Structure 1
Amino acid sequence: MTSSTVNISATRRPKGRVLMTARWVVGHRDGRHCLLQNGEIVFEDGMVIFVGHGFDGEVAERHDQGSAIVAPGFVDLDALADLDTTILALDNHPGVDKGRVWPRSYMEAGPFEMYDAEELAFQKRHAFATLIRNGITTALPVASLFYRAWGETAEEFSDAARAAAELGLRVYLGPAFRTGNLVVEEDGSITTHYDEARGLAELDRAIDFCHRYEGAAGGLIRTMFAPDRIETSAAALLRRTADAARALDVPTRLHCCQSKMEYDLVLARHGMSPPEWLQHLNFLGEKTLLPHGVFVSGSRHIARPGHDLEIIHDAGAVIVHCPLVFGRMSGAIDSFSRYRELGIRIGMGTDTSPPDMIANMQIGLILNRVLEARPDACRSEDFFDAATIGGADALGRPDLGRLQPGAAADMIVIDLGLPHHGQVIDPIQTLLVAGHGRDVRSVIIDGRFVMRDRVIPGIDEAADNARAQRQFDKLKSLYPKRTRGHPPVEKIFSSSYPIVA
């Protein structure tokens, strides 16, 4: 694809070579990560030029990070660019009665935008800063369409591109689109409402967005296609999306195999499982990203026999594993180690806020071992690989997810040896025992320091948090309009204990 036709610039990189030292540097040699004790890393003009010990060249800056880990930044293939409404579902079920599926009355009244353009722009900038604070250096944003009139717009993603460039976050952007939406009828049954022409028109606008923004901000801004979910997409939409993605050589992300309801709807409508239908449509490929890949044939979730995992494997598609958000809802892939043994490509996503990739690795490891009932089912480095190399390779980016000469200078500094870490063992194992996203001290993306000592230039964290809370409270107050029976807010969302005014 040709480079971007829009003029967006990122901030300047430091001039000259920058050398960093740390107690541990996660380098990359012979196709895998390695741990360099008291290691050094040197970068210049956005690229890593040295990883090792005893660099003898001239440098413009030196930074000793002390008792810390310098590691490749995390690649988040399902990164929340939203104010997280999934947290409202923590103790409030079922979703059809809690505003997670549009009621027929709301559909007939005409869905409306519950955020204005300024609020949409703010939430993306706020989310991007939160991703940086948690060590995410490459992000593929995702947001809920439950409170949207239909899909996302190119205009809001123009704002998102500018915010990413200003903050220095590496992103893959593309407005989400869909053919239709799930609808809950008065009797509680689930149907769909489709508008194929509207979905195809949104796809056309997404294609135009890719042409205009691919490679913007010196390559920080890349593009992707984001059909929302498999059960809200018609065959024509998915076929045209796949054709466009192959022609433009950009990734496509489609939420798939993420619920029993979805699996049953696709099976009833097409006589095929979700992966079978995608194979039939020639949709799958090496840059097809599938969050969440949990409900597949032959798993503990789906008793139906079939070859869903074999289809995904043979196509070279990528499962995007988001263990934290799914664990909250009692789900998990069955299992991470089994998928790896089958040769299925796996990357990681956070899909919730806070977007703590370290917590996701911890929970993923625990869930995997519980499901397999053995402590040797997986190791810490298996998840660290998925959060770095796995995500980079899913995007076809051998320059990301690893620190070696010729790679992009995308790295994070993680404090090590803090009181809550207890006794440090192996640095990666210590992260998987006691680390969290707040341990990320500094972030470098494309050779730019986008966060130093937890400070992101131009961001007032306290003010933004307060604004986000006000915006979230406003959205929550609108839930009765799109909840079956239109109960008051306090009936939709329960309190843990009685509230005393």
Structure 2
Amino acid sequence: MPVTLIRNADIVLAWDEATKQHVYMPNGDVAYEDGKLLFVGRDYAGPVQETISGSGMMVMPGLVNIHSHPSSEPMNKGFTDEVGTPGLYNSSLYEYLPIFRPDPDAVHSCVRVALSELLLSGVTTVADLSVAHPGWLDLLAESGMRVCIAPMFRSARWFTKNGHVVEYEWDPSAGEKAMEEAFGLVERAEQHESGRLFGMAVPSQIDTCTPELLKDSRDEARRRGISWQIHAAQSVSEFHEITRRHGFTPIGWLYEQGLLDDRAIIGHGIFLDDHPSTPWHTRRDLDILAETGTTVAHCPTVFARRGITLKHLGRYKRTGVNMGIGTDTYPHNMLDEMRLAAYLARTQATDPRSITTTELFEAATVGGARALGRPDIGRLAPGCRADFVLVDITHPQMRPARDPVRSLIYAAGDRALRAVYVDGQQVVKDGEVLTIDYRAAAEHLHESQKRVAEQVPQHDWAHRTAEKIAPPSFLWK
């Protein structure tokens, strides 16, 4: 296979194996072949078939997003920006999540919009937590991304009839059947001709799954050597439901069942036993997460909209919890998510030193890779996959570029991204996604949302219109 060389990049954000850290390497070379990195260093002297100038560029590892819902969330733009149920502690899960859902015709556009936004913000690997839908695997492969498919399954659906009580409709046999189908999809993904798909087991939520479904899915995930993720400690209502059922906090109960280890991921993990909104008689949850090696997928934007946040990212890191970053909602912009994660951590701690950019970037790269069991992504080192991003450090919003990663996260954002490569194949060039017609998908989604809005009264417990639930910012004249 031909060797491609990025010659004399102004900066390479390389992986230092001795210190287990990313390091700035000025005037570096990066060579890759057949989707793998061959050389990361200076003065490459091997054979080269194609050379890319690194002048004015920073080469950094592609970002790893461990929690996202591409098949549904893009549809919610304009619907759920400002909604939260007061009687359910401002969560939007139980009253609004079930009613703003894309119809089958809109799902593919949702996915294409989300994956385009992810690519444009430097994500090369994403965990897609979705309900299985027709053509899913081929659609993901078409994007050129590296995707961990995570088909969700559960034993019950949640709903509310009044806006202050959550109820559950149980069908355990349907949950078991959906789990079997999910593992079948994982097998198909691992065999996909693209070579970029792999899988994860995801029982949807701690409160919608029977103990048997959780145990069976965890056992099977361990047997297959794949990661296991669950939404847990994501709302005050859920916290109270689990303590009522089991006498343990959500994290405590997962621990008691033997479900937590270094391949387990907690989606959100906000409401621990020492959170101000859920005080409990123990103070063990954070230590449990650290001691078991469990990862928390931190997705600040979706909760910040409701006035909710983790308490706080720096505290979790200092305790030794492995952290990853996700984009649970629109926009699917990983750099924006990272910036908000840093600011919320510092405001919650009332301390600008509570989380460093080093720790934040590690969560978005090697922390996520660790959670997925993929030491070959999230870092630039020989033998790793050739998943990387070219950042224009001459962009005006990157200047001054004294510390280019800080300039990228806190100032320039995705505007400074010049190119994205996955397995050595270019998927973004000059701000345009090469594998997806982003504009066409966004336009189709715009039209599809009108149909969804018309159906809202049929799904809402109070039969309200979309305009009643989410009034426009200004009156239409």
Q: TM-score, normalised by structure 1?
A: 0.88
CA distance in 2 between counterparts of 1:429 and 1:488 reads 43
Q: Which residue of 425, 431, 434 maps to 2:408?
A: 431
Q: Which residue of 84, 90, 100 maps to 1:93?
A: 84
CA distance in 1 between counterparts of 2:377 and 2:454 reads 41
Q: Secondary structure at the match of 2:74?
A: coil
Instruction: Work out whether residues 101 and 182 of structure 1, in 8 Å CA contact, stay in contact via their aligned partners in 2.
Output: yes
Counterpart residue number, 2:58: 69
Residue 39 of structure 1 aligns to which amino acid in structure 2?
Answer: G
Q: Secondary structure at the match of 1:77?
A: strand
Counterpart residue number, 2:34: 45
Residue 192 of structure 1 aligns to which amino acid in structure 2?
Answer: Y
Shift of 1:218: 5.0
| 2:371 is aligned with 1:394 | yes
Counterpart residue number, 2:431: 454
Shift of 1:422: 4.5
CA distance in 2 between counterparts of 1:214 and 1:245 reads 14
Instruction: Work out whether residues 22 and 40 of structure 1, in 8 Å CA contact, stay in contact via their aligned partners in 2.
Output: yes
CA distances 1:431-459 after superposition (whole Å, capped 9, x unpaired):
23202124322111111112222233353
Instruction: Work out whether residues 292 and 322 of structure 1, in 8 Å CA contact, stay in contact via their aligned partners in 2.
Output: yes
Q: Which stretch of structure 1 is more off in the superposition, 340-349 or 422-431?
A: 422-431
Q: Secondary structure at the match of 1:431?
A: helix
CA distances 1:38-62 after superposition (whole Å, capped 9, x unpaired):
2211111111111111111221111
| 2:130 is aligned with 1:139 | no
CA distance in 1 between counterparts of 2:136 and 2:473 reads 36
CA distance in 1 between counterparts of 2:27 and 2:472 reads 50
Q: Secondary structure at the match of 1:174?
A: strand
Q: Which residue of 320, 325, 331 maps to 2:308?
A: 331
CA distance in 2 between counterparts of 1:443 and 1:113 reads 31
Any unmatched runs of 5+ in structure 1? Answer: 1-13, 144-151
Residue 125 of structure 1 aligns to which amino acid in structure 2?
Answer: R
Shift of 1:135: 1.1
> Would the alpha carbon gap of residues 95 and 202 (structure 1) be closer, same or farther in structure 2, given more than 3 Å must change?
farther
CA distances 1:317-366 after superposition (whole Å, capped 9, x unpaired):
10011122222222222111111111111111111222222112211111
Residue 66 of structure 1 aligns to which amino acid in structure 2?
Answer: S
Shift of 1:277: 1.5
CA distances 1:241-294 after superposition (whole Å, capped 9, x unpaired):
101101111111111111101111111122211112212222222111111011
CA distance in 2 between counterparts of 1:138 and 1:179 reads 29
Q: Which residue of 204, 212, 216 maps to 1:240?
A: 216
Shift of 1:95: 7.3
Counterpart residue number, 1:125: 112
Q: Which residue of 224, 232, 237 maps to 2:200?
A: 224
CA distance in 2 between counterparts of 1:278 and 1:20 reads 49
Counterpart residue number, 1:32: 21
CA distance in 2 between counterparts of 1:77 and 1:302 reads 26
Any unmatched runs of 5+ in structure 2? Answer: none
| 2:103 is aligned with 1:115 | yes
| 2:404 is aligned with 1:413 | no
CA distance in 2 between counterparts of 1:386 and 1:128 reads 20
CA distance in 1 between counterparts of 2:449 and 2:393 reads 34
Instruction: Work out whether residues 62 and 387 of structure 2, in 8 Å CA contact, stay in contact via their aligned partners in 1.
Output: yes
Residue 469 of structure 2 aligns to which amino acid in structure 1?
Answer: I
Residues 110-189 of structure 1: matches in 2 within 5 Å?
Answer: 115-116=103-104, 118-143=105-130, 152-153=131-132, 155-156=133-134, 159-186=135-162, 188-189=164-165
Residue 56 of structure 1 aligns to which amino acid in structure 2?
Answer: A
Residue 82 of structure 2 aligns to which amino acid in structure 1?
Answer: D
> Would the alpha carbon gap of residues 326 and 435 (structure 1) be closer, same or farther in structure 2, given more than 3 Å must change?
farther
Counterpart residue number, 1:84: 74
Shift of 1:166: 2.3
> Would the alpha carbon gap of residues 40 and 114 (structure 1) be closer, same or farther in structure 2, given more than 3 Å must change?
closer
Q: Secondary structure at the match of 1:89?
A: coil
| 2:12 is aligned with 1:19 | no
Instruction: Work out whether residues 92 and 494 of structure 1, in 8 Å CA contact, stay in contact via their aligned partners in 2.
Output: no
| 2:304 is aligned with 1:315 | no
Q: Secondary structure at the match of 1:91?
A: coil
CA distance in 1 between counterparts of 2:172 and 2:258 reads 19
Instruction: Work out whether residues 21 and 63 of structure 1, in 8 Å CA contact, stay in contact via their aligned partners in 2.
Output: no
Q: Which residue of 266, 274, 278 maps to 2:250?
A: 274
Q: Which residue of 436, 444, 455 maps to 1:478?
A: 455
CA distance in 2 between counterparts of 1:130 and 1:328 reads 20
Q: Which stretch of structure 1 is more off in the superposition, 34-43 or 58-67?
A: 58-67
> Would the alpha carbon gap of residues 187 and 451 (structure 1) be closer, same or farther in structure 2, given more than 3 Å must change?
closer
Shift of 1:140: 0.3
CA distance in 2 between counterparts of 1:134 and 1:477 reads 33
> Would the alpha carbon gap of residues 92 and 466 (structure 1) be closer, same or farther in structure 2, given more than 3 Å must change?
same
Residue 174 of structure 1 aligns to which amino acid in structure 2?
Answer: A
CA distance in 1 between counterparts of 2:293 and 2:404 reads 32
Q: Secondary structure at the match of 1:291?
A: strand
> Would the alpha carbon gap of residues 26 and 93 (structure 1) be closer, same or farther in structure 2, given more than 3 Å must change?
same
Q: Which stretch of structure 1 is more off in the superposition, 250-259 or 297-306?
A: 297-306
Residue 27 of structure 1 aligns to which amino acid in structure 2?
Answer: A
Q: Which stretch of structure 1 is more off in the superposition, 38-47 or 457-466?
A: 457-466
> Would the alpha carbon gap of residues 99 and 471 (structure 1) be closer, same or farther in structure 2, given more than 3 Å must change?
farther
Instruction: Work out whether residues 112 and 441 of structure 2, in 8 Å CA contact, stay in contact via their aligned partners in 1.
Output: no
Residue 29 of structure 2 aligns to which amino acid in structure 1?
Answer: E
> Would the alpha carbon gap of residues 257 and 244 (structure 1) be closer, same or farther in structure 2, given more than 3 Å must change?
same
Residue 277 of structure 1 aligns to which amino acid in structure 2?
Answer: W
Q: Which residue of 257, 260, 264 maps to 1:284?
A: 260
Q: Secondary structure at the match of 1:332?
A: coil
Counterpart residue number, 1:149: none
CA distance in 1 between counterparts of 2:416 and 2:41 reads 24
CA distance in 2 between counterparts of 1:472 and 1:68 reads 39
Identical aligned residues as a percent: 27
CA distance in 2 between counterparts of 1:113 and 1:259 reads 20
CA distance in 2 between counterparts of 1:476 and 1:66 reads 49
Q: Secondary structure at the match of 1:480?
A: helix
Instruction: Work out whether residues 99 and 484 of structure 1, in 8 Å CA contact, stay in contact via their aligned partners in 2.
Output: no
CA distance in 1 between counterparts of 2:395 and 2:260 reads 44
Shift of 1:96: 7.5
Shift of 1:86: 5.2
Counterpart residue number, 1:196: 172
